[in-house]
C-alpha cells in the first residue's frame, strides 16, 4: 500500500500583493487549464511571482471567472 495525502481545504494568506494575473484558458489533450498568478514585493524593482495556482477541468465553462459587480 502507498501513502496518500489529501488536502480537503486550504487557505493561504499572502501579504503585500502587487498584482494578480489570470491567464487565458488553454486546451491540450482534452483538458482545459488556466493559472492564477500572484505577484508580490520581494524587495526588487519589479513585483515577483510568489504563487501560481493551476486549475484544470474537462469542461471549459467550469474555469470561467466571475467577479462581483463593481460599485463606485
Domain boundaries, the chain: 17-58
This prediction has a pTM of 0.77
Looking at per-residue confidence, does 4 or 19 come out higher? 19
**pLDDT tens per residue across span 15-38:** 999 999 999 999 999 999 999 999
Tell me if 14 sits within 8 A of 40, measured CB to CB. yes
Amino acid at each position: 500500500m502507498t501513502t496518500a495525502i489529501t488536502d480537503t481545504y486550504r487557505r493561504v494568506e499572502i501579504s503585500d500583493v502587487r498584482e494578480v494575473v489570470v491567464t487565458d484558458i488553454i486546451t491540450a489533450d482534452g483538458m482545459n487549464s488556466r493559472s492564477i498568478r500572484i505577484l508580490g514585493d520581494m524587495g526588487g524593482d519589479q513585483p515577483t511571482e510568489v504563487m501560481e495556482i493551476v486549475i484544470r477541468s474537462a469542461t471549459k465553462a467550469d474555469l470561467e471567472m466571475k467577479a462581483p459587480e463593481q460599485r463606485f
